[in-house]
């Protein structure tokens, strides 16, 4: 108990009150820190993981479990955050990359297992003293029941499940956070809300202003203020309005031409865009049924042959098509595109690991709400997607029951996320 009190005193010197309150609570069996982007949730989770490992591992080996939505996020965010906190306190920790496990010699060789929520079956049956779920709104719903049962080390001094994350609609995360304890009838979780002041402490002077100028008002409340709102049911592109359809766009031959690609077969849809005067103009689309990538390249080549040369030809689309094929051929979709257009002046592809569906939808709605994206009537499929596409029942995917829907907006979404996603809000493109 004395160690716990001393730890709390150390933490109370932190100038971030909500983060400190979250880290220093070792009494609540279930606790969560909910807030907007950059309010210190992941650092807070890492520091709590450090102290729980230290206190539980003071006399014998203990195990902690930390879960991130994907292994890509494990490597980009979770592993560095845990490593940084141990470095901060001057405690050596060894990382076993192949197994995704930290070992801590100074704490009786205690372990921290890192797991990905997109592979829930790999979450082994370990006797953990604590379990940390980072960004749990992005998990598959069944992951909650799997990770919560990992906290079962009866010898631990402190057993705790803690969550850190930004809201993503009224999904399973919201349901978990505000569930009631079957014995007491009270909220199971103690929920601590991050603050705008802490976001400002963790970011540069212009960060909040950039979010306010980029996100639509609904997402601003979710991503900046950490409110739970209905953003994952009903119409997906709620920021799309009819005034974003313009009668005509005269392309500028001195600006790059941007092609957003969908690799569906029936139909296959590629949209043609330019960025101009701080706005996106989607002014044409190529549509084929029973298509393949070579047929689409032929169609685009025919379209280009009737136009002057543009300084650049930039392609966006599904990253997974760099190593898989949608048709019976030995070549991937992107190799076929490269073979057709690599000699075009300024040919380029902009690809990165596919974002979550909601991440690219957020980028699209942000641009639409600030009147930075316009469409001409030539783009019938893109317009109808933005008018009609709805969320599936799970609130994670788009409803694809209509075979004509989602293909155009998927391609547009890859482009929007690459150049204007939340991780690109400092982009100089506009």
Distances (CA, A) of 312 to 286, 308, 337, 417: 19, 12, 15, 20
Mean per-residue pLDDT of the chain: 88
The average pLDDT across 368-379 equals: 96
The pLDDT assigned to 429 comes to 38
The average pLDDT across 397-422 equals: 93
The pLDDT assigned to 131 comes to 92
Q: Does CATH number 3.40.50.300 belong to domain 2-209?
A: yes
pLDDT in tens, 243-276: 999 999 999 999 999 999 999 889 999 999 999 9
Indicate whether 12 pLDDT > 70.
Answer: no
Going by C-alpha positions, the residue among 315, 280, 413 that lies closest to residue 357 is: 413
The average pLDDT across 355-365 equals: 91
Structure confidence at residue 203 as a pLDDT band (50, 70, 90):
confident
Selected residue with higher pLDDT from 268 and 323: 268
Domain spans of the chain, in order of start: 2-209, 242-424
Selected residue with higher pLDDT from 322 and 335: 335
pLDDT in tens, 86-128: 999 999 999 999 889 999 999 999 999 999 888 766 776 678 8
The tokens describing 69, both together, are 């939505």
Selected residue with higher pLDDT from 122 and 239: 239
Strands of 110-116's sheet, edge to edge?
94-96, 101-104, 110-116, 63-68, 130-134, 160-165, 30-34, 190-193
Structure confidence at residue 15 as a pLDDT band (50, 70, 90):
low
DSSP secondary structure code for residue 309 in this structure: P
The pLDDT assigned to 430 comes to 38
Q: Which fold has domain 242-424?
A: Nucleotidyltransferase; domain 5 (3.30.420)
Give the rounded percent of residues in the chain with a pLDDT score beyond 90: 56
The whole-angstrom separation of Cα 154 and Cα 158 is: 9
373: left (phi over 0), alpha (psi -120 to 50) or beta: beta
Structure confidence at residue 394 as a pLDDT band (50, 70, 90):
confident
DSSP three-state, residue 324:
coil
Structure confidence at residue 382 as a pLDDT band (50, 70, 90):
very high
């Amino acid at each position: 108990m004395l160690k716990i009190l001393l730890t709390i005193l150390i933490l109370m010197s932190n100038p971030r009150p909500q983060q400190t309150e979250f880290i220093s609570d070792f009494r609540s069996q279930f606790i969560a820190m909910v807030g907007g982007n950059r309010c210190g949730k992941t650092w807070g989770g890492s520091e709590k993981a450090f102290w729980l490992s230290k206190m539980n591992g003071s006399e014998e080996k203990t195990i902690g479990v930390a879960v991130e939505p994907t292994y890509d996020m494990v490597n980009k965010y979770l592993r560095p955050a845990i490593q940084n906190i141990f470095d901060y306190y001057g405690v050596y920790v060894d990382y076993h990359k192949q197994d995704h496990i930290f070992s801590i010699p100074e704490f009786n060789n205690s372990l921290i297992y890192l797991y990905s929520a997109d592979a829930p079956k790999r979450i082994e049956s370990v006797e953990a003293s604590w379990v940390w779920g980072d960004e749990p709104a992005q998990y598959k719903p069944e992951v909650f029941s799997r990770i919560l049962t990992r906290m079962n080390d009866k010898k631990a001094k402190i057993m705790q499940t803690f969550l850190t994350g930004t809201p993503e609609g009224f999904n399973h995360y919201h349901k978990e956070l505000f569930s009631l304890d079957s014995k007491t009838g009270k909220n199971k979780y103690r929920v601590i809300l991050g603050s705008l002041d802490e976001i400002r402490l963790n970011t540069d002077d212009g960060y909040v202003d950039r979010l306010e100028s980029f996100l639509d008002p609904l997402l601003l409340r979710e991503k900046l203020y950490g409110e739970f709102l209905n953003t994952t049911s009903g119409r997906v592109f709620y920021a799309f309005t009819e005034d974003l359809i313009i009668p005509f766009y005269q392309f500028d031959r001195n600006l790059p031409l941007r092609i957003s690609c969908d690799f569906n077969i029936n139909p296959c849809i590629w949209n043609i865009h330019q960025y101009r005067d701080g706005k996106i103009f989607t002014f044409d689309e190529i549509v084929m049924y029973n298509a393949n990538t070579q047929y689409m390249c032929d169609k685009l080549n025919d379209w280009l042959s009737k136009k002057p040369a543009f300084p650049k030809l930039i392609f966006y689309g599904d990253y997974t098509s760099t190593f898989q094929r949608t048709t019976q051929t030995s070549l991937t979709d992107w190799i076929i595109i490269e073979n057709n257009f690599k000699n075009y002046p300024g040919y380029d592809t902009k690809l990165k690991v596919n974002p979550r569906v909601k991440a690219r939808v957020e980028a699209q709605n942000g641009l639409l709400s600030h009147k930075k994206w316009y469409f001409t009537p030539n783009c019938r499929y893109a317009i109808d997607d933005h008018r009609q596409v709805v969320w599936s029942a799970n609130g994670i995917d788009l409803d694809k029951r209509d075979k004509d829907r989602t293909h155009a907006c998927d391609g547009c979404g890859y482009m929007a996320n690459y150049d204007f996603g939340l991780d690109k809000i400092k982009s100089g493109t506009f």
